[in-house]
Structure 1
Amino acid sequence: MKYILILSLGFLSLLASSSGFISPSQLKNYLTDNKTVIIDVANYKIYKSAHIKGAINANITDFIKKDSLYSQLNTNTILQNEINSLGINSDSKVIIYAHNTKEGILNSSFLALVLIYAGFENVSILDGGYLSWVFENELLVSSLKEQSKEDGNFILNINKNLFLDAKELKINLHSSTVLDARPPELYYGISRSKKTKRVGHITYAKSSYYMHKFLTDTTLRKKEELNEIYINGYEIKKNKEIIVYGDDIFSASMEWFILYKEMGFKNTKIYYKSLKEWANDSALPMTRFKWE
């Protein structure tokens, strides 16, 4: 009986580690695990004011090329150095959380995207962010700066299948499910995305605002509701290619993460230059005032 219980606990632990989102109670169980790396993606001022005990702060801009119009990822060498500086090893469990702002939410999914692109899959986001943690574990917070004990040993194994360019997207517009992760008013063409000449959405794309996948307290909707959205609503099949875009790679990252990690649609890709490229090229098809 004891053996069965141990196996069951091990299975539940594995199940939790493979999930895209993790609850505060699950995270609490990881606090004493020296293989767990907890990362706070807020700016340093917010992080310094209060954070989860043991969490280290990550500067998201370090993962992006300076003066990059499309927020392109930094070189592999820099990505390797930044990931290792966070103390991430090949056998680590990484849990990322934000401080419940839209910027923070996208920072968390962007960092998760960077890690998965680098070949590190054992990453989850804290469901409900910092506020959900404080609500359940108000005493387990700190204002002391935490640092990784030592550099990690994780070695990059780049996943080249996560991104695609405008040429590839144009070819796949008819055969793939293309999802626009921006707010509906941007998709429909009532408002304009920043730094774009044209309004509306990529022709044939469907509106799928990433924030609609969350409740008002920024906790993720239940799996049954996500199934209704993606499987019933968009009729997505496991093997079908899904392409996500936004204003840029940041605003596309959370929609991508939910599909890829939480829902298990591993054939989900990001058009990383997104509307900053597409909407500024008059040769590429766009549609306004139409729900596809």
Structure 2
Amino acid sequence: MKKLLLLCFALALFAAEPFVSAKWLKEHLNDKNLILIDVSKPKLYKKEHISGAINAPIELWRQKIEHYALLRSPKEIEKVMRRLGITPNSKVVLYSHRWGKDFLKTSYIAFAMEVMGFANSSILDGGLDAYCKIGDLTNKPSAAKLSNYKATFHPEFIVDKTTVLAHIGKTRMLDARNPIFYFGAAKQKVLQRTGHIPKATSYFWVFSFENEKIKDTNTLKAMLIDGLGLDPKKDVITYCTGGLETSMNWYVLHRLLGFQKARLYDASMKEWANEPDTPLTKYRWE
């Protein structure tokens, strides 16, 4: 009996791995509780996708507000999760077709689901390219069975401009953009001003990956905890240009390194750096 309990515990832990390999996905593709979500644009999904995958692009999860985008309302996201057939017993795996911005949609959607009380999600390490090497693709669409998933909203994972202003110099903040934008040496087209939120630390989200696959946990700890001095027990606020890049930093901190108090500034610099009076620092590493 004890061995059985230990086995079940081990399986539960494995099922909640933040990143799963293409090999794991192929072996578990027909699992009863597995829900495979293709986060890319419908055009890419219709062309080819992993068998059994359901298309749920980023537009279902967030909406434009003025010149930035924010997570949709809890009711809207709950409806999306129900349409995808998600239940508390589901194991969700998210994947994208392309590296870069498309890939970042996986972590943002995982963040959106966690905000709604569902944490048993994983990202396919290496995306569709990794799966293509060992598995077949299809162009036949898949439909989910509707569920009655009841979401529990967790606003503590999200911060707004007012909260960020109040925590400058008091809470560690992580800028997920390319360091050239953090430093202020180059201007992003979508932003009116350059630089970073005062006292924030630069950590480009791609630093967590090598050859488009997640680095091992010890390396991530060495970089983020030992190197940058982030404390898993303390608050950390992550931000980027518009919410996608920072979602990967949030996901790595929260899911891989156990930062339970990691919070995401959803509007990020598309709000902050387009306001005339929010403080910005440039030409300085902090």
TM-score (norm 1): 0.92
Query: Alpha-carbon deviation of 1:228?
Result: 0.9
In structure 1, how many angstroms separate the alpha carbons of the residues matched to 2:40 and 2:277? 39
Q: Which amino acid aligns with 1:163?
A: I
Aligned to 2:92: 94
Aligned to 2:261: 267
Query: Alpha-carbon deviation of 1:247?
Result: 0.6
Kindly indicate whether residue 166 of structure 2 is the aligned counterpart of residue 171 of structure 1: yes
Shift of the 23–68 alpha-carbon distance from structure 1 to 2, 3 Å rule, reads farther
**Number of paired residues?**
286
In structure 1, how many angstroms separate the alpha carbons of the residues matched to 2:240 and 2:266? 8
Kindly indicate whether residue 184 of structure 2 is the aligned counterpart of residue 189 of structure 1: yes
Q: Which amino acid aligns with 1:116?
A: E
Aligned to 1:138: 135
Q: Is the 8 A contact 1:36 1:95 kept in 2?
A: yes
Aligned to 1:161, the other structure's residue is in SS state: helix
Aligned to 1:71, the other structure's residue is in SS state: strand
Aligned to 2:8: 10
Query: Alpha-carbon deviation of 1:9?
Result: 4.3
Query: What per-residue deviation string (whole Å, max 9, x for no partner) do you get for residues 120-175 of structure 1?
Result: 1111111111111122x233x22211111x11221110001011122211221222
In structure 2, how many angstroms separate the alpha carbons of the residues matched to 1:47 and 1:262? 28
Alignment counterpart, residue 35 of structure 1, candidates 33, 36, 39:
33
Q: Is the 8 A contact 2:232 2:257 kept in 1?
A: no
CA RMSD of aligned residues (A): 1.8
In structure 2, how many angstroms separate the alpha carbons of the residues matched to 1:275 and 1:97? 26
Q: Point out where structure 2 has 5 or more consecutive residues left out of the alignment.
A: none
Kindly indicate whether residue 236 of structure 2 is the aligned counterpart of residue 242 of structure 1: yes
Aligned to 2:223: 229
Query: Alpha-carbon deviation of 1:32?
Result: 2.0
The worse-fitting range, judged by mean Cα deviation, of 259-268 and 57-66 is 57-66
Aligned to 1:210: 205
Q: Which amino acid aligns with 2:148?
A: N
Shift of the 51–270 alpha-carbon distance from structure 1 to 2, 3 Å rule, reads same
In structure 2, how many angstroms separate the alpha carbons of the residues matched to 1:232 and 1:244? 18
Alignment counterpart, residue 82 of structure 1, candidates 80, 83, 89:
80
Q: Is the 8 A contact 1:16 1:22 kept in 2?
A: no
Query: Alpha-carbon deviation of 1:223?
Result: 0.8
Shift of the 19–68 alpha-carbon distance from structure 1 to 2, 3 Å rule, reads farther
Query: Alpha-carbon deviation of 1:283?
Result: 2.7
Aligned to 1:120: 118
Query: Alpha-carbon deviation of 1:10?
Result: 2.9
Q: Point out where structure 1 has 5 or more consecutive residues left out of the alignment.
A: none
Kindly indicate whether residue 272 of structure 2 is the aligned counterpart of residue 278 of structure 1: yes
Q: Is the 8 A contact 1:90 1:153 kept in 2?
A: no
State percent identity of aligned pairs: 30
Aligned to 1:57: 55
Query: Alpha-carbon deviation of 1:59?
Result: 2.2
Q: Which amino acid aligns with 2:138?
A: S
The worse-fitting range, judged by mean Cα deviation, of 274-283 and 259-268 is 274-283
In structure 1, how many angstroms separate the alpha carbons of the residues matched to 2:64 and 2:188? 21
Q: Is the 8 A contact 1:89 1:154 kept in 2?
A: yes
The worse-fitting range, judged by mean Cα deviation, of 272-281 and 199-208 is 272-281
Aligned to 1:101, the other structure's residue is in SS state: coil
Query: What per-residue deviation string (whole Å, max 9, x for no partner) do you get for residues 34-87 of structure 1?
Result: 111000111122112221111111122122235553211222222121111111
Query: Alpha-carbon deviation of 1:7?
Result: 4.8
Query: Alpha-carbon deviation of 1:281?
Result: 2.7
Q: Is the 8 A contact 1:194 1:247 kept in 2?
A: no
Aligned to 1:94, the other structure's residue is in SS state: strand
Q: Which amino acid aligns with 2:143?
A: Q
In structure 2, how many angstroms separate the alpha carbons of the residues matched to 1:175 and 1:18? 32
Query: What per-residue deviation string (whole Å, max 9, x for no partner) do you get for residues 20-45 of structure 1?
Result: 11112222332221111000111122
Q: Is the 8 A contact 1:84 1:152 kept in 2?
A: yes
Query: Alpha-carbon deviation of 1:280?
Result: 2.3
TM-score (norm 2): 0.94
Q: Is the 8 A contact 1:179 1:245 kept in 2?
A: yes
